[in-house]
Amino acid sequence: MYRCRALVAWLVGLCMLLFLPGSSPVAGAASFRFVKSQSGPSGKIVDNRFQFDEIRNRFVYPQDRFLTVYFEWEGPPGTHVLTAYWKNPQGNVASISPDIKMETKTPELHAYWIFEIASDFASGIWTAEIRIDGEPSATHNFEIVLPVASPKTETTASPPPKIPTLDEMYVSVGRSLVWVHKLDEAGHRIDTALGFIVGPDRVATAFQAIDAALQLEVIFSDGRKVTSDQVWACDRLQDWALIKAETANLPSLPRSPGMPVPVGERYIVFNVENEMARVIGGVDITGKRAVGDFGDRIQIAPSPSREAIGGPLLNPMGEVVGVVGGSVTPGSRFSQYAMSVSPSLWTRLAADVSATPVAALPASSEGTPTTLRDLLNHRILTAPLTPLPSLTYGGSARSVSKVANDLSTSDTSEFSHHDRVAWIYTLWQKKDKNGKGMLSAKVYDYRNNLIIDVPPKRISFSEETPTRIAFNFGIEKFPAGVYRVDVLWNDQAAWRTFFRVTE
């Protein structure tokens, strides 16, 4: 009996008319027309298609432990059942994938299966035979090569690595975990996230864990506290950062050696519960996707807590496969202090938590670290907020009343080019000594590029009734996407919101 595992995923989209050697349609599949098949060691989904990192039909174990076979057909829309039969070089069925029932709405049908190679497989030409609705529809041939072991090698072969228990992983991984605190100018903690050691003096975390910060406090498992304002590298869109902080003799977490992260598997994260207690638990790998300029994401469920952002996503061996976070709305993480002063801060665009693949992080920290101040000056970081108690509310709308203090505005965060303009309004009511100042605003795209600069205007407000201040700007030429608005009080960002523009 062969030990093998097959995972299946399916896609519906456009097709390319291209045949590869080793692929052939099977006669008798009357309702579907075979278009093409391909195989390779790994890949990802791009534009609703599986794109291989490398296309080949020969796989050598143990360098290749997994292979992916991809098929395309044209056929009638409707509900169909797909089954994969894996045949060994003798022509015998070694494994049968579970039946997959799916509904298509177009003539295009795409599907791929991931096949795990075991050490006791027979070398030779294997065949993936696909049946649709019980009818043979296509085959794809591929070669598996296993080294010939000498009798001595067989008797002295090392046992497979032992999968650690959750208790063992909690202890071993916990030594490499850190707390990452953002500090304000007075040295007070204003936000908390996780991080983990990936090398000497290198702490990995999410970009959002350092965004809008000018100083960080890193607390290691041995109790040491290190203050740092230096970053080896970071990526605003991919949501990762490498902080420079003295790690002493604490261990680094091992990275996964590039093994696939199968959808449907159970992986491990460290969550954060009440009173900042780290707890270990499982998450399901629910999907993988490419998000344009933001890169690849690993979808996980359930979502860890806000403070768990920046921690490692671990496979069952305790190896890092991703950095928890995966935000596609840079600048949307607000400190707890800012939220308490300005509870109207807009957070509805905050995406579900995912993970950025660890392959996005550089393997070493070559070069010179950069300060957080330099990153802010070069608009890599989002400007920090200085919330004001007197700014009681704010929002975005398609229109506002011409009556200055009419507060019946209907909020919206999504606009189309047909709307032509977007309105931003804020409500002010004096709650400290100063009721006068200069109000201005800036509009940025997701890369933190300045799009619109609203000139400053002197305003005043009283303690008696709220004062509404509103302004608008044209959005007809805005590309579809998410934009950020910073409202400034005396040139300091005091409040922000986000809005989306659709075609």
Q: Is residue 301 part of a domain?
A: yes
* 436-474 confidence digits (pLDDT tens): 999 999 999 999 999 999 999 999 998 888 889 999 999
Give the up-direction half-sphere exposure of residue 360: CA atoms within 13 A in the CB hemisphere.
28
Q: Percent of the chain scored above 90 by pLDDT?
A: 62
Mean pLDDT, all residues of the chain:
86
Same domain membership, residue 444 and residue 359 = no
Classify 291 as helix, strand or coil. Answer: coil
Domain of 486, in residue numbers: 391-502
Q: Is residue 439 part of a domain?
A: yes
Element of type H or E holding 60: strand 58-60
Q: For residue 336, what pLDDT is reported?
A: 66
Answer whether residue 351 shows pLDDT above 80: no
Same domain membership, residue 400 and residue 327 = no
**Domain termination residue (choose one: 377, 403, 425):** 377
* 57-86 confidence digits (pLDDT tens): 999 998 899 999 999 999 999 989 999 999
Residue 355 pairs with which residues in a beta bridge?
298, 324
Q: Is residue 411 part of a domain?
A: yes
Element of type H or E holding 152: helix 151-156
Q: What separation, in Å, do the N-terminal and C-terminal C-alpha atoms of the chain show?
A: 56
What confidence category does residue 338 fall into, taking pLDDT thresholds of 50, 70 and 90?
low
Buried b (16+ CB within 10 A) or exposed e, 367-403: eebbebeebbeeebbbbbbbbbebbbbbbbbbebeee
Residue 488 pairs with which residues in a beta bridge?
440, 493
* 233-245 confidence digits (pLDDT tens): 999 999 999 999 9
Classify 372 as helix, strand or coil. Answer: helix
* 355-386 confidence digits (pLDDT tens): 999 999 987 766 799 999 999 999 999 999 88
- Tokens 């203090």 appear where? 405
CATH number of the domain encompassing residue 140: 2.60.40.1930
- Tokens 């970081």 appear where? 381
Q: Is residue 247 part of a domain?
A: yes
Same domain membership, residue 372 and residue 398 = no
Same domain membership, residue 210 and residue 126 = no
Same domain membership, residue 299 and residue 445 = no
For residue 52, give Cα distances in angstroms to 47, 254, 430: 13, 26, 60
Q: Provide the number of structural domains found in the chain.
A: 3
Q: Is residue 152 part of a domain?
A: no
Question: Which tokens sit at 135?
Answer: 């009818």
Same domain membership, residue 425 and residue 345 = no
Q: Is residue 158 part of a domain?
A: no
| Mean pLDDT, residues 16-27 | 35
Same domain membership, residue 400 and residue 366 = no
Same domain membership, residue 226 and residue 82 = no
